[in-house]
Amino acid sequence: MKVLITGATGLVGKEVTRLCREQGITVHYLTTSQKKISSEPDYKGFYWNPSTDELDVTSLEGVDAIIHLAGASIAQKWTPENKQLIKDSRIKSAQMLYDALFRFRESGNTPSVKHIISASAIGGYPSSSTKLYNEKYPTYASGFLGEVVQEWEETIVEFQKLDIATSLVRTGVILDKNQGALPKIVQPIRFFAGAPLGSGQQWQSWIHIEDMARIYMQLLNKELTGIYNGVAPNPVTNEKLTKVIAKTIKKPLFLPNIPEKVLKLMLGEMAAIVLESQLVSAEKIMETGFVFTYPTVEQAIENLL
């Protein structure tokens, strides 16, 4: 099997790439940096630049599936320019792939690609302290995150017009030792400045990085289609997550919660990332036979820290 991965050098991409190579799957990857292009037998890089509509179409030759993980970090100030970057890095990049595959068909060639698996986000679900969300929930959240997720997912579903099966992984808070949310939470706790955010009662639907990558492999190897939540089966509140981290690294928590007003003053509109509450179900992916290596936050944090 041969897969094309966008975002292969990112947090999830690196782990998915590692698992693919372990399983003998050849990886083509797209990068905006000429310096990151390698040409190993099972790991070959190709240049693309979605902002200038550049794509090396030889990257698609012989590819059975695309894993679309590209996307600028949402953890940056939500200026109009950065908002557009967050959208374009996900949506415009996917549209470029669609257009390239469409041109293949128009020229009389049949693309070898049969499946696209794309990242999405649980930020598409409305904020709620009580509702348990599964993949059948019919509406998207209002606000910027809901808007991004809706356009992102609609762009991927378009691939079905090319007879390409589509899968979407609505990703939760990914826990990794070196990247993402966890190091940012750990740092103030290490320096005795940690505290829950806002009320602390907002739900955090999290997942260990290893389980996150394994979900992509489950969809790839079993040719599963549709929407799947990429979260562990035991979500926790922000307060619980903070306390588990503090206990694991043996640091006290004695400061009061950081007020919502302060977070909004510091982060602006981006405060939604830490203040919104999504209680999300992992039942659908488990029904496919997937077994989590780290089903509880205590197990995940113990392993990572």
Using one digit for the tens of pLDDT, what is the confidence trace for 222-274? 999 999 999 999 999 999 999 999 999 999 999 999 988 998 888 888 888 88
CA nearest to 205, candidates 246, 165, 174: 174
Residue pLDDT, tens place only, 65-85:
999 999 999 988 899 999 999
pLDDT at site 276: 95
The beta-strand segments (E) located in 159-284 are 165-171, 173-175, 203-204, 206-208, 226-230, 236-237, 279-280
- The verdict on pTM exceeding 0.75 is yes
Share of residues in the chain with pLDDT > 70 (%): 100
Phi, psi of 66 (to 5 degrees): -110, 135
Measured CA angle at 169 (ends 263, 38), to 5 deg: 95
Q: What CA–CA distance (Å, rounded) separates 128 from 109?
A: 48
Q: What CA–CA distance (Å, rounded) separates 160 from 199?
A: 42
Give the 3-state secondary structure of residue 166: strand
Q: Which of the following CATH numbers is that of domain 2-304: 3.40.50.2300, 3.50.50.60, 3.30.930.10, 3.40.50.720?
A: 3.40.50.720
Answer yes or no: is pLDDT of 109 > 80.
Answer: no
Answer yes or no: is pLDDT of 137 > 90.
Answer: yes
Per-residue pLDDT band at 41 (split at 50, 70, 90): confident
Q: Which residue has the tokens 């992984």?
A: 169
Answer yes or no: is pLDDT of 120 > 80.
Answer: yes
For 222, counting Cβ atoms within 10 Å of its Cβ (0-12 exposed, 13-18 middle, 19+ buried), the class is exposed
Provide the mean pLDDT of the chain.
Answer: 94
Q: Which parts of 60-197 fold into alpha helices (H)?
A: 80-106, 144-157, 181-190
